Amino acid sequence: MTLKYLITGATGGLGGLVLEYFIANVPLGDFAVSSSRIENRSLFERRGVQFRHLDYEDSATLEVGLRHVQNLLFVSTNTNVIHIDRILRHHGNMVSAAAKAHVGHVWYTSLPFGGFGDDSEVAVQQQHLATEKMLQESGLTYTCIREGIYTEAFPLFLNWYADTTHIMLPCDGEIAFTSREDLAEGTARLMLSGGYANQTVLFTAGKTISAREMVDIIHQSTGQKLQIRGKPAELFKTVSSWWMAAARGELKTMDGLLGEILGREPLAPQDAVRQLLQKEGDHVWHQNYA
């Protein structure tokens, strides 16, 4: 039986929100979700959602789970960004299995460093560029969705905690931070509307924000000041590379496609940061504690 849509990463942030959009707007018989953990089956089936077991480490599960799929939302593997070899192995397994299963259209969630360009020096973006290249060379029909940097992740970029008093950054730059809810809805709508075959698209908010602006909003919203916290050298190097890329303008590129797909202007990062802090004054991002 042909399955119109298969959503990977449904236990994660972006994939989970995509799933919620599908549940609210698409007949349950038209889509399924997957997880590498077979014990997650009950989480979805008790809501009436079909389940398939896909383990990026296990090609056998991929080849079976991807059979008769028309549209695959390929959310990048949930692996620490410093484990490059593992990420590329997982993604290579997924692309190969999708090709063998003759998946109709792969919708891949990439990152936006460098905008529409392919020359970013940021390591995490290079992993995505390598995956994009895999898709381009696979013979599959694909769309690479370069999802804007989650606004919800701003504490990671600032190395900010709710009880700190100052921060230290290598430089400042403008970033088109984008609400994860907007990105998920836009991704779902894009898949459902179709098109953009063998293209790379960019989903971003319509404004950028700098570190200085974020600090000002934190002060205005919470009255708190900021300070640095010790972290492994690898994380400092990673975050530093993100800000260096921002200073070069790699995260400044914006595109109106997300707004067109949503039928409204995406939430501006200034407003999104303010809303996050008004809702939860001690907002944190899980990777701050990694």
What per-residue confidence (pLDDT) applies to 138?
97
Could you give phi then psi for residue 54, rounded to 5 degrees?
-130, 120
Q: Kindly report the three-state secondary structure assignment for every residue of 48-96.
A: CCEEEECECCEHHHHHHHCCCEEEEEEECCCCCCCCHHHHHHHHHHHHH
Identify the pLDDT of residue 123: 87
| 268 SS3 class | coil
Work out the end-to-end distance of the chain between its first and last CA atoms, rounded to an integer number of angstroms.
42
The residues, ordered by sequence, that sit 6+ positions from 263 with a Cβ below 8 Å of its Cβ are: none
Distance CA 135, CA 161 (A): 38
Under a CB-based contact definition with an 8 Å cutoff, are residues 81 and 113 in contact?
A: no
pLDDT at residue 228 in the model:
37
CA atoms of 162 and 283, how far apart (whole Å)? 7
Distance (Å, whole) CA 176 – CA 245: 12
- Per-residue model confidence as pLDDT tens for the chain (290 residues): 799 999 999 999 999 999 999 999 999 999 999 999 999 999 999 999 999 999 999 999 999 999 999 999 999 887 666 567 889 999 999 999 999 999 999 999 999 999 999 999 898 899 999 999 999 999 999 999 999 999 999 999 988 877 777 777 777 889 999 999 999 999 999 999 999 999 999 999 999 999 889 988 988 888 876 653 546 667 778 888 899 999 999 999 999 999 999 999 999 999 999 999 888 777 777 766 55
Q: What is the pLDDT of residue 230?
A: 45
Give the pLDDT of residue 86: 87
* Phi/psi at 146 (5° precision): -80, 100
Nearest Cα neighbor of 201 from 271, 107, 71, 125 is 107
The secondary structure of 3-14 as a DSSP string is EEEEES-TTSHH
